Structure formats: C-alpha cells, structure tokens
C-alpha cells in the first residue's frame, strides 16, 4: 500500500471502464468489506422510508461485527502514520503538484486526529446498547427482525425520520472517523498505480509477483458494456485470472476462448 508520486501528478486514467477488484491480503479484504458496507450505509441514510432505515441499520450492525473481530482502528492508525511519512518525503520534489500534496497531507492529518479522538474503546457504547444488541441478535435469524419479533424496533421505525436519523448519527459517530479513514486510504491505494494494458491468452492470465512485492489489491478494467467478467484467485505471491461469460441467469458461466485485452493495476 505504498503510494507513488502519480497520485500527486494526475488522477487515474482508468476512465470509461468497468472495474473489478481483488484483495491479495486479509487486511485489504477487511477494509474493502467495511468500505462496501459504509457505501451502502451512505446510500440509504438519506432516504426517509423505513425500509431504507432497515438497510442503514443492517450496514451499521455488520460494520460493528467486523470491527469487533480485530483491532482495525490500530491497523488504520499505523497505515495513516506510514502514509504521512511517505508523502512528507515528496515535499520539494520538482515533479510533484505542491497543492495536491498539501491537500493529501492535510486530509491524512485531520483523519488521524479524528480517529485518535474517539479512543481505543470507541466500540463500547455500541456493544452495551441493548436496543442494537436486540436487533443484532434477531437479525441472525432469517426474517427475525419482523414486527412481532421486535416490536420496539418496529415502533422506532415508525418514528419521524428526523428522530431516527438523530439516533443513527449518534451511533455512527463512534465509527465514522474510522470509515472515513479507510475510504481515504483505499483511494490512495487505488490511485498509486496506473493501469497497464495486458492480454489474457485464450481467456486466461497468470502473474507471479516479485518476492519483495507489497501489493495488496488488484484492479481489473474492462470496456463498459462487455459481456465478460474476471474470475480471480491469488495471494501476495501470484494470481490467476479467467475471463468468463454468463449467457443468462439460468445458464452456467464459461471461460471465453478468445484473447482478452484488459487493464491491470497491481496496487
């Protein structure tokens, strides 16, 4: 997850492409899952309907479940510190956009301050909240959050949107600095490596990474509207891709037989 000066010179050139991502490390897998849940949260939180609020609560509870499994906050703080150190070294380099560099450093410092401020026990209020624990417990059962299972939840969902959103913002305030930090770090990772044009011969592509490689994320770009998608497997040592076609939801995907030109970024 080491950035290059590319992020300070020009934005990514991978435009007008369908992008697929594959993590090469467990930490990156965790960050991508949290990012996806946070995006789902942000998508639904502005909608006043009760079904959207249910989706918001599902995202919030899933994020807390992931965060309870490890010290993600400490890992993100270490990565923020490392990125600050790396980007600080770019100062006074002639090829670097000084304004963009200052903006990146300012964002990283602010995110770090906010993440430090929530403290190491930031999850404790959510762990001890009986209302959230009841929803989480019943949500593990298919359809378990119905009105007859959780009448208090149903009552809360009927409250005015302004009241619901106030509660949600209160609960989210403890993990929002972490989510924002993850979003910034993943942006830096994605922008650190420009894509290169590659060819999958007969729909298959194999790549061995250098022993000293610190790559943690693959990004595969295909033209918009293509009928193909990549099936990726790998680790931080090597990875393999097969490009598949899926005729319809009733059929089975099959590997394409022709050569496939695609964009690849190993970040």
CA 213 to chain CA centroid, Å, is: 22
Residues 211 and 262 in one domain: yes
Task: Answer yes or no: is 90 within a domain.
Answer: yes
Both tokens of residue 36?
């996806």
CA pair distance 244, 231, nearest whole angstrom: 7
Residues 201 and 97 in one domain: no
Residues 179 and 203 in one domain: no
pLDDT tier for residue 16 given thresholds of 50, 70 and 90: low
Give the pLDDT confidence of 121-163 residue by residue, as tens digits.
Answer: 999 999 999 999 999 998 888 887 888 889 999 999 999 999 9
User: Distance of CA 182 to CAs 29, 62, 258, Å?
Assistant: 12, 16, 38
Instruction: Check: pTM over 0.85? Answer yes or no.
Output: yes
Look up residue 201 and give its DSSP letter.
B
Task: Answer yes or no: is 11 within a domain.
Answer: no
Task: Please identify, among 159, 189, 219, the residue that sits at the C-terminal boundary of a domain.
Answer: 189
List the one residue out of 75, 72, 7, 3 whose CA is nearest residue 37: 72
Task: Answer yes or no: is 103 within a domain.
Answer: yes
Task: Please identify, among 167, 189, 211, the residue that sits at the C-terminal boundary of a domain.
Answer: 189
CA pair distance 137, 130, nearest whole angstrom: 10
Task: Please identify, among 147, 173, 189, the residue that sits at the C-terminal boundary of a domain.
Answer: 189
Give the pLDDT confidence of 64-84 residue by residue, as tens digits.
Answer: 999 998 899 999 999 999 999
List the one residue out of 53, 68, 60, 49 whose CA is nearest residue 171: 60
Where in the sequence is the domain holding 173, given as residue range(s)?
26-189
CA pair distance 244, 178, nearest whole angstrom: 36
Task: Answer yes or no: is 18 within a domain.
Answer: no
**CATH code for position 246:** 2.60.440.10
How many structural domains is the chain composed of? 2
């Amino acid at each position: 997850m080491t950035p290059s000066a590319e992020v300070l010179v020009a934005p990514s050139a991978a435009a007008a492409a369908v992008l697929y991502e594959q993590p090469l490390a467990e930490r990156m897998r965790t960050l991508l899952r949290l990012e996806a849940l946070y995006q789902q949260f942000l998508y639904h939180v502005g909608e006043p309907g009760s079904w959207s609020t249910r989706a918001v609560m599902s995202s919030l509870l899933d994020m807390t479940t992931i965060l309870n499994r490890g010290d993600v906050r400490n890992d993100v703080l270490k990565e923020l510190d490392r990125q600050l150190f790396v980007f600080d070294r770019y100062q006074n380099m002639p090829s670097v956009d000084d304004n963009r560099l200052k903006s990146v450093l300012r964002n990283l410092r602010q995110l770090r301050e906010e993440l430090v401020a929530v403290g190491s026990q930031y999850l404790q209020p959510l762990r001890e909240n009986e209302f959230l624990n009841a929803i989480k417990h019943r949500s593990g059962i298919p359809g378990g959050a119905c009105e007859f299972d959780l009448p208090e939840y149903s009552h809360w969902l009927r409250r005015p949107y302004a009241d619901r959103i106030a509660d949600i913002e209160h609960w989210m305030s403890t993990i929002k600095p972490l989510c924002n930090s993850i979003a910034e770090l993943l942006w830096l990772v994605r922008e650190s490596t420009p894509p290169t044009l590659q060819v999958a011969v007969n729909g298959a592509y194999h790549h061995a990474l250098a022993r000293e490689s610190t790559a943690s994320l693959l990004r595969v770009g295909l033209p918009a509207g293509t009928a193909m998608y990549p099936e990726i497997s790998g680790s931080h040592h090597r990875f393999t891709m097969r490009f598949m076609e899926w005729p319809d939801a009733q059929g089975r995907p099959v590997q394409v037989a022709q050569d496939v030109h695609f964009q690849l970024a190993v970040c």
